[in-house]
Structure 1
Amino acid sequence: MDRLRGMNGTVHGGVADGRPSLARDTDMCEAILALSGTTNGHLAAQGFATLARRTGTGFDGLADEHKKITFADTQARPVPVTTSPEWSGSETGGRRYSAFTINVEHRKPWHTLTGRQHFFLDHDWMHEAGEALPIYRPPLNMTVLFGEPGIGEGGEQGITVRYLTPHSKWSIHSEYQDNLLMLTLSRGGPTIWMSPADAARAGIRDNDWVEALNRNGVVVARAIVSHRMPTGTVYMYHAQERVVDVPKSEASGRRGGIHNSLTRLMIKPTHLIGGYAQLSFAFNYLGPTGNQRDEITVIRRRSQEVDY
């Protein structure tokens, strides 16, 4: 708190009297960075000390107690975060992040009922759903559920395809996609990957502007036509935000969306199990999930004269 007061200034009067100011957007950014163990090494070291007492294992040397990342640091260049108990991987010594290395190498128990990795979930709801052990579930039928056109339907006016949003290839985690290096490695804007067969049926050529539309929203992007894509499926890599080369949509008249404009959370009963070891809600870890293989979209070639 003292460090934040020195950076942001102090509030005078009111309910926040004496607290660090959050009056500016940069003040809020500094507060977020100061209060996370991944960007404030002091908090990471404190967290590992608490974790060591709880688990009876040691985490010495993982946290860089003196490392502090400020908002100015993130503006100057991409900055690696510090190793923190908020995550399960180690980046100490310049190591690249790999999940669960702290569990394996420092014997931190997994957040499960047994403290170990396990595949059998002995819970009444999981048994009722037939999912006590990992099983295959086919993608949902969006035609039956929501009246969407069937996969493969269409032609020159657009083709219906399965819509997937894999982890981004051209950003650094989910940020810095507008970094010059990232822009140089990519096409410098939103893209949707599709197969030559699907592209030919819809009259789409590589680098054409296209629109993807379903009951949830619309996306405007350039088509990447690649033999590496299976027929019937398109990719839009995630974290392509509306900050670089996103024109307005012909369908909506608004700026043409992001990767999540076409997706929505859909809840199944097993997502609502609570208070049961790892089946307890934790933001970003367990809860209603993105539906990675279920969503579909109609994708069509649009006017190549775009308006921003």
Structure 2
Amino acid sequence: MPHGATRPLSETPLVPGVTMPKLISIERDYTAIRAKFDTIGPLPEKAGTPIKGLVLRPDQEIAELAKEHGVARSGPCAGRPLINTDIKAAEMVLRLSGTSNGRLATQGFKALEKRTGTKMADLAEENEGRRITFDDTVKQPQPVVTSPEWSGSETGGRRYSAFVQNVEREKPWHTLTGRMHFFLDHDWMADMGENLPTYKPPLDMHRLFGDAKIGATTTGHRPAEVEVGVRYLTPHNKWSIHSEYQDNLYMLSLSRGGPSLWMSPADAAKIGVADNDWVESYNRNGVVVARAVVSHRMPEGTVFMYHATERTVDVPRSETTGNRGGIHNALTRVLMKPSHLIGGYAQHAYAFNYVGPTGNQRDEVTVVRRRSQEVQY
């Protein structure tokens, strides 16, 4: 696909791994699923663990886990390290990540040095002998090790900032040219008018799926209850990274102590909601129960719920479903656009947890109403 030019499918021979995804046959023994679930398979030693173009070799770590956790004594996974408890599984994650295992981080940077020709390994060498264990995380939050799994640096106590490795250590960007890209020369991007960063208005979810109109107020499913339609966003959390370290007194004291939905005074007034009232938000995807944070910083017609608040603290039952309210993603779903389907063209490629260019799953609409303040758990 030189210069991002694509030929019509009728003129393109289908070659696995070249003009289409690779096709790999895999045999599954469904009678062994539980045994495999409870053990670490053989691939970490055979294939390594790939991270952003590198492959880490955790042979030593697998041997350590086998010694510490024991191995399966019989069956299809005999001799493989056990992860048959939640703590053992957590220890595996910590041991196999460069962010919590200085040996692997240093190993990865040394491999990266050979590819980039720039000095990298010193970013992790001060922590080469460090291993963060599950017990360590129970005692207190732990600063992580700078690792090639991420683009920032926390070396010497520095706070994380994205792309430090690229800017300060001249590590090439993961793009077609190794530089930052603002112009994307793929045919499909040109067809959509998106060669350069381009504003596209949010999808009209009312027209497409019959969702509520933004700003519209209606009588809800219970008599005399008023609901308001709003756009629903889920930014990264103000008090944590994803779900880490929220359910302790220090972190809960910085927030409302549980799920919260930020909304504008104008939208709150439409449905009679005061700051800290319990509200219920629902759409065709799910339902959320949370406390309202009424703030002038929120524009009318938009609410947001911080990313990945755990359901372990202060999540009451929903009046809509009778079940416990969901987390932020209970109301969302991934929406694909044609540019997400570009593949095999440098940064235009699918990888687990990465769909690019930037995702458009911020078009979701939800309905918010004031619920009974007598909540049940």
Q: CA-to-partner distance for each residue in 1:186-235, whole Å, 9 max, x for gaps?
A: 11011001111111110111111100011111000011111221111111
The answer to whether the 8 A contact 1:263-1:290 is kept is: no
Alignment map for 1:164-183 (pairs within 5 Å)? 164-183=233-252
Q: CA-to-partner distance for each residue in 1:44-84, whole Å, 9 max, x for gaps?
A: 11111111112222213111211111111111111111111
- What residue in structure 2 maps to residue 221 of structure 1? 290
How far residue 87 of structure 1 moved from its aligned partner, in angstroms, is 0.6
CA distance in 2, matches of 1:160, 1:81: 41
1:274 and 2:343 matched: yes
CA distance in 2, matches of 1:216, 1:259: 11
- What secondary structure is seen at the aligned counterpart in 1 of 2:252? helix
Identity %: 67
- What residue in structure 1 maps to residue 85 of structure 2? 24
1:189 and 2:273 matched: no
CA distance in 2, matches of 1:196, 1:287: 35
1:198 and 2:267 matched: yes
1:149 and 2:212 matched: yes
Larger RCO (CA under 8 A, 6+ residues apart): 1
TM-score (norm 1): 0.96
- What residue in structure 2 maps to residue 212 of structure 1? 281
The answer to whether the 8 A contact 2:339-2:357 is kept is: no
- What residue in structure 2 maps to residue 265 of structure 1? 334
Ranges in structure 1 where 5+ consecutive residues have no aligned partner: none
CA distance in 2, matches of 1:277, 1:80: 32
Ranges in structure 2 where 5+ consecutive residues have no aligned partner: 1-61, 219-224
1:114 and 2:183 matched: no
RMSD: 1.5
Which one of 111, 134, 143 corresponds to residue 71 of structure 1?
Answer: 134
Distance 1:15 1:289, change over 3 A: farther
Tell me the matched-pair count. 308
- The letter of the residue matching 1:296 is V
- The letter of the residue matching 2:290 is A
CA distance in 1, matches of 2:157, 2:68: 28
TM-score (norm 2): 0.79
How far residue 136 of structure 1 moved from its aligned partner, in angstroms, is 0.4
Which is higher, the Rg of structure 1 or of structure 2? 2
- What secondary structure is seen at the aligned counterpart in 2 of 1:162? strand
- What residue in structure 1 maps to residue 28 of structure 2? none
Q: CA-to-partner distance for each residue in 1:104-143, whole Å, 9 max, x for gaps?
A: 1111100111111121111111111111111100000000
CA distance in 1, matches of 2:269, 2:275: 10
Deviating above 6 A after TM superposition, structure 1's stretches of 4 or more consecutive aligned residues are none
Which one of 113, 121, 126 corresponds to residue 60 of structure 1?
Answer: 121
